[in-house]
Amino acid sequence: MTDDLVLRQDSAGVATLTLNRPQQRNALSRAMIAALRAELARLASDASVKALVLTGAGPGFCSGHDLKEIQANPDPAFYAALFEECAALMLALQALPQPVIARVHGIATAAGCQLVATCDLAIASTRATFATPGVHIGLFCSTPMVALSRTVPRKRALEMLMLGETIDAATAAAYGLVNAVVEPDDLDAAVAGFTARLTAKSPLTLRIGKEAFYRQDEMTTADAYAYTAAVMARNLATHDAAEGIDAFLAKRAPIWCGD
């Protein structure tokens, strides 16, 4: 565990971080953002963890920023620090060596929707809902827009941002915001299925691939090919790549060592 705001549980190479402000639908206070960032820093150097699941306590996944905290601190310096810290959190999730899965069982709005879009993968319950509703209160969801616009098509992102309307899990899947939608009773099994498949892969290979994916995503096509060609060459020089090729040709299961 970190503290009361974020709970951590480890099992079979998978760490689960649970946002723990259920009465506030896990609104992202500055203290919760700090707790999450601290735990991600620990996870980044923890070789025993092969995958991370991010979820929320109580009925909601995450309702976004804590509006009561914002209202109580009408100070431009506070606002600037809050959004800088939130951006650092999103970047830390993206930079984390391990794959991150959002387990979304309830509402994911504003910065909560941003969290879902930032995670590498996302699995939602049929009860989950998603929105970037800031426009309703005169506050455009500009920072959630960064992750959302890099995850769903432009017209869908602008529809969510400009209308601020709630979409259900099936619509979120159709937009590409989540990978799968399952019944509430099947959510944990679906997440476990994803994590089992991830932890069976070489953690080194996943780390190389995740870093390369996000780096090339911001490049021109020509630059992306040049960069990823160099990544592939380095990847081929690793022990796990040689082991994987040998195992494939010998029709046996690979034994990963992480080198």
In the chain, % of residues over pLDDT 70: 99
Predicted confidence (pLDDT) per residue in 37-81, tens digit: 999 999 999 999 999 999 999 999 999 999 999 999 999 999 999
Angle at 153 between CA 137 and CA 182, to 5 degrees: 85
- Write down the mean pLDDT value for the chain: 97
Q: Name the nearest CA neighbour of 118 among 97, 140, 142, 93.
A: 93
The CA dihedral of 201, 88, 73, 77, to the nearest 10 degrees, is 180
| 93-106 mean pLDDT | 98
Nearest alpha carbon to residue 18 among 49, 82, 48, 62: 62
Find residue 15's DSSP bridge partners. 10, 52
Identify whether the C-beta of residue 110 lies closer than 8 Å to the C-beta of residue 132.
Answer: yes
Q: What average pLDDT does range 20-38 have in this prediction?
A: 97
- Cβ neighbours of 4 (radius 10 Å): 11
Would you state the pLDDT for residue 1?
Answer: 40
pTM, 2 dp: 0.95
Per-residue pLDDT of 201-247, as tens digits, reads 999 999 999 999 999 999 999 999 999 999 999 999 999 999 999 99
